[in-house]
Amino acid sequence: MKGATLLIASLVVYGLLIVPFSEQMRTKPFVEKLGYIPQGEVLRMFSGDQKQSMASGLMTRILIYFGTLVEKSESKIDVPPDYFAIYKMIDGVTKLDPYNMDAYYFAQAVLVWDVKRIKEVNALLDYGMKYRDWDFYLPFFAGFNNAYFLKDYEKAARYYKRAGDITGDELHVNLAGRYFYETGQTDLAIAYLNTMIRSAKSDAIRKSFQTRLQALKEVKRVEQALVRYRTGHGGRVPSLAELVDKGYLDPPPLDPYGGSFYLDETGMVRTTSKFARRTGD
């Protein structure tokens, strides 16, 4: 009787999963087919002893999907990624296998930068830290997110302290102090991206980070030109065109995302692309 009940329950769950998945797949172009998965807790409940292999399979699907879109973007073919589906699938991966580092790395690499899902990714990182307590990357990611995006330096310092306790690395120890205020946000981001590029396993992710690093190096170049201009002339810089015309910024800055740099009302360096490809808007 118990076996029959379990079989019926399994068939019901199967139907709930397969029917919407099949319908969704029929309505999407081939390249967009990432797929539908249920809540992570449901996946975990019915995956038995196949949790790790199922998580690995889902993560492989995400990497292939995103890599295909990056290749198309480089060929000037705009296919917007299904970021919501990516997030749901990554959440499922971490619930199936909380030790799967690729899931946390991908979430940090893509969901944080491209769609600014900072709080959701931080929640994933906090979840992962309960299991990967030897891994400095997760608190390193969370520290950066809180400092750079959320401007919550107190919380960022706690995460960087945790990373420093694990590694003893001087960078993490310094970041746990007042390093943010001394170096500035652009320097912090450049140091972070260099670390991410060195540890990237996926070519698509590495290319994404390299593009962002190139953009931030241009921002840094503009910032340095602003300092030189103010030292020589004093007062506020009216525009980037002024920096270029007076020889402080040669060659003019180039946004690898296709946007145009400008100074906002506070004098901060901005770009019309917001450091994202059109496929990520």
b/e for 93-125, b at 16 or more Cβ within 10 A? Answer: bbbbbbebbbbbbbbbbbbbbbbebbebbbebb
- For every residue of 55-96, DSSP letters joined together read HHHHHHHHHHHHHHHHHHHHTT------HHHHHHHHHHHHHH
**Measured distance CA(96)–CA(111) in Å, rounded:** 20
Beta strands, E only, 149-274 = 261-263, 269-271
Length of the chain: 281
Q: Which two tokens stand for residue 81?
A: 């990624």
Please check whether residue 88 is in contact with residue 184, taking contact to mean a CB–CB distance below 8 angstroms: no
**Measured distance CA(132)–CA(135) in Å, rounded:** 5
Worst-scoring range by mean pLDDT, 26-40, 78-92, 124-138, 255-269? Answer: 26-40
State yes or no: pLDDT of 91 exceeds 50.
yes
**Measured distance CA(278)–CA(281) in Å, rounded:** 5
**How does pLDDT run across 51-64, given as a tens digit for each residue?**
788 888 888 888 88
Comparing CA positions, the residue from 226, 154, 141, 225 lying closest to residue 189 is: 141
State yes or no: pLDDT of 207 exceeds 70.
yes
State yes or no: pLDDT of 75 exceeds 90.
no
**Measured distance CA(121)–CA(118) in Å, rounded:** 5
Amino acid 27: pLDDT: 46
What's the mean pLDDT in 172-183?
A: 55
**How does pLDDT run across 96-129, given as a tens digit for each residue?**
899 999 999 999 988 998 889 999 999 999 999 9
State yes or no: pLDDT of 190 exceeds 80.
yes
**Measured distance CA(167)–CA(173) in Å, rounded:** 9
Angle at 41 between CA 118 and CA 31, to 5 degrees: 65
Report the SS3 class of residue 44: helix
Bridge-based pairing of strands 269-271 and 261-263 is antiparallel
For the chain, give percent helix, strand, coil, nearest 5: 70, 0, 30
Amino acid 39: pLDDT: 62
Amino acid 168: pLDDT: 75
What's the mean pLDDT in 63-81?
A: 72
State yes or no: pLDDT of 227 exceeds 70.
yes
Break the chain into its structural domains and give their ranges.
1-133
pTM (2 decimals)?
0.63
Please check whether residue 138 is in contact with residue 129, taking contact to mean a CB–CB distance below 8 angstroms: yes
Amino acid sitting at position 49:
D
DSSP-assigned letter for residue 202: -
Please check whether residue 97 is in contact with residue 55, taking contact to mean a CB–CB distance below 8 angstroms: yes
pLDDT band at 42 (very low <50, low <70, confident <90, very high): low
User: In degrees rounded to 5, what are phi and psi of residue 262?
Assistant: -155, 170
Report which secondary-structure segment, H or E, holds 145.
none
Worst-scoring range by mean pLDDT, 24-33, 68-77, 91-100, 270-279? Answer: 24-33
**How does pLDDT run across 155-167, given as a tens digit for each residue?**
888 898 898 888 8
Surface-to-core class of residue 193, CB atoms within 10 Å of its CB (0-12 exposed, 13-18 middle, 19+ buried):
buried
Omega before residue 251 within 30° of 0, cis = yes
Please check whether residue 191 is in contact with residue 171, taking contact to mean a CB–CB distance below 8 angstroms: yes
